[in-house]
Structure 1
Amino acid sequence: MISMKKAEVEEFVLSHQTEDGGFAFCNPLPASTPETFYAIYILQNLGLDIPKENRVINYIEEKIRNARSSISIYYLLKSNEILEFNLKNRDTLKEHLIKKLNGVMKRKVSKVSYEMGVTSTYSFELPSLLEEIFSISESLRILDFSIKDDIYSSVERLINGQQIAENLKDTYYIISVMKDRNDMNEVLHSIKKYEAPKGGYSKTPDSFPPYLEDTFYALSSFDIAGQKIKNEKTSNFILKLQNKDGGFRRSLYGGISTLEDSYYAIASLRIIGKV
């Protein structure tokens, strides 16, 4: 049986912490809001202490005062959701996010076809718009504020009646935002086509190889739908991705460890009951 090396994961995560309390992609780069969230999530879900927690909170508070990107705000609020410190500018954030959503609703949609050669990476504008709407929706949820009708109409304009996108990442964003309106059975049936024979999920249906990020998006989609996943093949696939430095890579075919991939690994293992 393959097992996760928990102490090595902790060492890997802590090696990315910077003097200001945040976490970076790698040293000597400065801390970033996504990496800081990934690190906090990993440590919390493994039952580990967050070192220099006061510095971490100060870092997040400073960043959130000046945050303008809806995606940055999302990561900062997700970090706050774990650390549970008092936010001082909730109303300002709500107003800013609503303005951001209004801007997204007015933006022209230009979809990039996968038939044009974009097969193993994500399409451009459609995912970026979906990710932005997802980030705004989740951020407003954390702030206990809902404008579901506006968010629904924004997504419906993008997906043009489709419940399934051309990749698992976009599908995850759609069902996260539209879960009250989607036919989950149809969505889950489509997602299962991405499962690789030996575990994990791939970029396209009935294909190989599986990737960690696609596995995370598939499992997260099942989780949103309330479907319990107990899959030894997929858990073994994820555990095989742990590198000697304790972090996780995205593919069985080598690669560096990143906090992002390590987050995908721990979050996926949590969903299938292995963490």
Structure 2
Amino acid sequence: MTRINLDAVIKYVLSKQGSDGGYLSFQYLDMFESSAEDTYYALSILETLGVEPPRRDRAVEFLRHLQHEDGTYSSVEVAFYSIMALSLLGASPRDPRGASEYLMKALASNMNGDYILPSFEAEQLIDESGVLKSKDATFTLTSADLTPVPIRTSMIVLALHKLGGLDGEAEEKAYPLLKDALSNGGLGTPVSLEVAYWALEALSTVDHLPETSNLVKWIYACENIDGGFSSTPGSKTAFIENLYYALRSLEILGSRPKYVSSHLEYVTSLQNANGGFRRSRELGASALDYTFHAVKSLVLLESL
């Protein structure tokens, strides 16, 4: 069994719930609205650890209001995380049909290269109560901040599947983009573990994995003998998310990591005094996404 302090993990996660019912890693006097992404991470951690999330109704209300009245969302990312978080709460979007239509439109735009960009700039920076909003509502993104197309495509597929709206048409549109992501446009290997993970997660949902023996070898080439995985072979970027991406990818592919004990020691070394986890041995601030990846990695390592 791992030596992490589970009680401290739970306390850390619960401390990140805001007055709106959602969660945010970095709050200051509750001035920032919660984010769909952090809310998903927090709820997933609590579910994994068998903890009933507090103020469930407020969390559902917060997540449902991230969907616009016309059924759309400010971005594919917000749609994905809010839909997945609502599912953890046993709830659905306020307009499931509108959500599915928005996601299908986004998928079609990915195919055509005419992407639906986040509409944060249309929102107001300060709400009517004088509260500064989070990136889910108002943060203006540059092209460098946009999620890569294969990952956005995977988010669309997974969200549609959760909504029960993933049909043959959606699979036909998504499959070439997802398969191509595993070979980086025909170059033979993925551009990163992150892209490989998202593509595999979506492809496993549609139950249509391509031939992947070379991919398994590539993932093993990212494994570090002293714990963790690098984003690409030889890159030495042993961030906690890369460990999760690799472990989950190997699980989908029916394989196991080589250095289990080293990975367990690596994860254990990342827990901070406040109960949360940091991104690497060198980077010190706790965050909900790092904590999510740490907890989920321990599950995949069969130590939790």
- What TM-score, normalized by structure 2, do the two folds share? 0.79
1:216 CA drift (Å): 1.1
Aligned positions of 1:1-275 closer than 5 A = 3-28=3-28, 29-65=32-68, 67-107=73-113, 128-146=148-166, 147-155=170-178, 159-162=184-187, 164-179=189-204, 180-208=208-236, 210-229=238-257, 231-275=260-304
- The verdict on how the C-alpha distance between 1:55 and 1:244 changes in structure 2, with shifts beyond 3 A counting, is same
1:191 CA drift (Å): 0.3
Is the 8 Å Cα contact of residues 194 and 231 (structure 2) preserved in structure 1?
no
CA deviations over 1:157-181 (Å, ceiling 9, x no partner): 6642356312111111222234524
1:75 CA drift (Å): 0.5
Divergent runs of 4+, >6 A? none
Give the whole-Å Cα distance in 2 for the aligned partners of 1:229 and 1:204.
16
Is the 8 Å Cα contact of residues 164 and 187 (structure 1) preserved in structure 2?
yes
Structure 1 window deviating more from structure 2 (86-95 vs 29-38): it is 86-95
- The verdict on how the C-alpha distance between 1:188 and 1:83 changes in structure 2, with shifts beyond 3 A counting, is same
1:59 CA drift (Å): 1.1
State the SS of the aligned residue for 1:201.
coil
Structure 1 window deviating more from structure 2 (152-161 vs 93-102): it is 152-161
Give the whole-Å Cα distance in 2 for the aligned partners of 1:156 and 1:229.
23
Structure 1 window deviating more from structure 2 (84-93 vs 142-151): it is 84-93
1:145 CA drift (Å): 2.2
Give the whole-Å Cα distance in 2 for the aligned partners of 1:126 and 1:16.
26
1:223 CA drift (Å): 2.0
- The verdict on how the C-alpha distance between 1:42 and 1:156 changes in structure 2, with shifts beyond 3 A counting, is closer
Give the whole-Å Cα distance in 2 for the aligned partners of 1:193 and 1:49.
39
Give the whole-Å Cα distance in 2 for the aligned partners of 1:155 and 1:49.
35
- What TM-score, normalized by structure 1, do the two folds share? 0.87
> What amino acid maps onto 2:89 in structure 1?
L
- The verdict on how the C-alpha distance between 1:82 and 1:145 changes in structure 2, with shifts beyond 3 A counting, is same
Number of aligned residue pairs: give it. 262
CA deviations over 1:86-109 (Å, ceiling 9, x no partner): 444221111111111111111179
State the SS of the aligned residue for 2:65.
helix
Is the 8 Å Cα contact of residues 241 and 252 (structure 1) preserved in structure 2?
yes
1:48 CA drift (Å): 1.2
- The verdict on how the C-alpha distance between 1:127 and 1:176 changes in structure 2, with shifts beyond 3 A counting, is same
State the SS of the aligned residue for 2:254.
coil
1:21 CA drift (Å): 0.3
Is the 8 Å Cα contact of residues 179 and 199 (structure 2) preserved in structure 1?
no
* Unaligned segments of structure 2, at least 5 residues: 116-142
RMSD of aligned C-alpha atoms? Answer: 2.4
Is the 8 Å Cα contact of residues 195 and 201 (structure 1) preserved in structure 2?
yes
1:261 CA drift (Å): 0.4
Give the whole-Å Cα distance in 1 for the aligned partners of 2:193 and 2:299.
19
> What amino acid maps onto 2:99 in structure 1?
L
Is the 8 Å Cα contact of residues 222 and 233 (structure 2) preserved in structure 1?
yes
State the SS of the aligned residue for 2:10.
helix
- The verdict on how the C-alpha distance between 1:205 and 1:134 changes in structure 2, with shifts beyond 3 A counting, is same
* Unaligned segments of structure 1, at least 5 residues: 110-122
Is the 8 Å Cα contact of residues 175 and 182 (structure 1) preserved in structure 2?
no
Is the 8 Å Cα contact of residues 70 and 100 (structure 1) preserved in structure 2?
yes
Name whichever structure is richer in helix by fraction: 1
Is the 8 Å Cα contact of residues 25 and 35 (structure 1) preserved in structure 2?
yes
